[in-house]
Structure 1
């Protein structure tokens, strides 16, 4: 995405708003779920980080091969791409609406004894799990990772605060960025990758200038251009 911004004449300021670390529970609930993976008919991933953390843990427990027998749902194209990279096969389900509620709505009706495994962030929003349970699914949701806010240099924070546009690709990035800049206002136009991220901005009273029409780098660049022309 930074390269695409440069191609359009922009100067990207790369500022990591989150860092991915192990869950506070030490990963034991994730291990327990992985060791009984054959009990699940589906696994649902809501981020590339969830895919990476879950498969890394599966490697440590020697159970990656068990994913060959389970159907995989991915919330959007980036998550589906990580699924394919990790498992060497495409996701079985990618919804048209790329958020937790959209993924829950796209699931088939459960059959008797169907269960879904949802490894997600410790700070995950509840829409997917609540939506699946409301439709009759048995859901085992566990923390595969958590996000923390990195400490950035004063110089980088000053560059962030002076930016003409701020691009957010996840709710956790919104919260991390606001923590990093402290009392400084967000003066640039805010661009979000999707509705869930835009909702996090709304919860923080942060006006959104544009939301990408599709959750991809190209979609974000188009939204940046649209916001700049608005």
Structure 2
């Protein structure tokens, strides 16, 4: 139920995903929501794409850990005339939003880890599958080697790259010169861009940092930044809901 618990609060979203429902949640509770994506993703086109697409049915599992990977994979399949609903392989997904996007396209998710984390995934996934089964990890350019190193018989396919979104830097700097803001970080990449492009000008003193996931939180803490909010559920909605609860207690 909408409240005024966020009245007077400015919340900045720094991720690349669609944010309209989250923006509405913040504004319904009296807050100001500003979207400054600190990173942007671009599909990679490679000579290996045609081969990977033609061999999809040779894999027992497809592994996705981000919405971006799902969307780019779907786009590549559609351009190649592949009906993704007829794929014979099973699908593993890390993250509620990743799973939601897969299901939106009619794909059944056969495995999700108990926590939306690659570290947990590599512990739980091998208990579900046979080591000899072939797995294709569809990933972005900045994916850590956790899954590659932790899963047997796996092939990686890098389908998009992540880089800094310089267009957001100046307006975010100007905002933080004027007011305190709660800044939500959804990835270590966004933390890195802030540290390299924004913090040298305005520092972190005007920021209450919220983190999605322990990897993002660790990236902040390594910089000496206190993490204001880190919900157990790794979703944007969970972050905002926890912020609302904290503001109610104050």
Aligned twin of 1:158: 174
Q: Which of 16, 19, 22 does residue 40 from structure 2 map onto?
A: 19
**2:96 is aligned with 1:74:** no
Q: Distance in 2 between matches of 1:106 and 1:195?
A: 18
Q: Please state how far the C-alpha of 1:18 moved relative to its aligned partner.
A: 1.2
Q: Please state how far the C-alpha of 1:55 moved relative to its aligned partner.
A: 1.4
Q: Which of 191, 209, 215 does residue 210 from structure 2 map onto?
A: 191
Q: Please state how far the C-alpha of 1:111 moved relative to its aligned partner.
A: 2.7
Q: Please state how far the C-alpha of 1:14 moved relative to its aligned partner.
A: 1.0
Q: Please state how far the C-alpha of 1:112 moved relative to its aligned partner.
A: 6.0
Aligned twin of 2:124: 106
Q: Please state how far the C-alpha of 1:152 moved relative to its aligned partner.
A: 2.4
Q: Please state how far the C-alpha of 1:182 moved relative to its aligned partner.
A: 4.6
Aligned length: 223
Q: Please state how far the C-alpha of 1:171 moved relative to its aligned partner.
A: 2.1
**2:225 is aligned with 1:206:** yes
Aligned twin of 1:142: 157
Change (3 A) 1:217 1:194: same
Q: Distance in 2 between matches of 1:152 and 1:210?
A: 26
Q: Which of 85, 92, 101 does residue 110 from structure 2 map onto?
A: 92
Q: Distance in 1 between matches of 2:196 and 2:224?
A: 14
Task: Give a deviation string over 1:61-104, Cα, whole Å, max 9, x none.
Answer: 23343763111111011000011112x13311111110111222
Change (3 A) 1:158 1:112: closer
Q: Distance in 2 between matches of 1:151 and 1:29?
A: 30
**Gaps in structure 2 of 5+ consecutive residues:** 1-21
Q: Distance in 1 between matches of 2:107 and 2:85?
A: 13
SS in structure 2 opposite 1:28? coil
SS in structure 2 opposite 1:98? coil
Please give the root-mean-square deviation of Cα atoms over the aligned residues, in Å: 2.2
Q: Distance in 2 between matches of 1:203 and 1:34?
A: 39
Aligned twin of 1:129: 148
Comparing 36-45 and 208-217, the one that deviates more: 208-217
Change (3 A) 1:93 1:160: farther
Q: Contact between 1:174 and 1:200, CA under 8 Å: does it hold in 2?
A: yes
Q: Distance in 1 between matches of 2:223 and 2:47?
A: 33
**Gaps in structure 1 of 5+ consecutive residues:** none
Task: Give a deviation string over 1:126-152, Cα, whole Å, max 9, x none.
Answer: 2222221xxxx2010121101111222
Comparing 161-170 and 5-14, the one that deviates more: 161-170
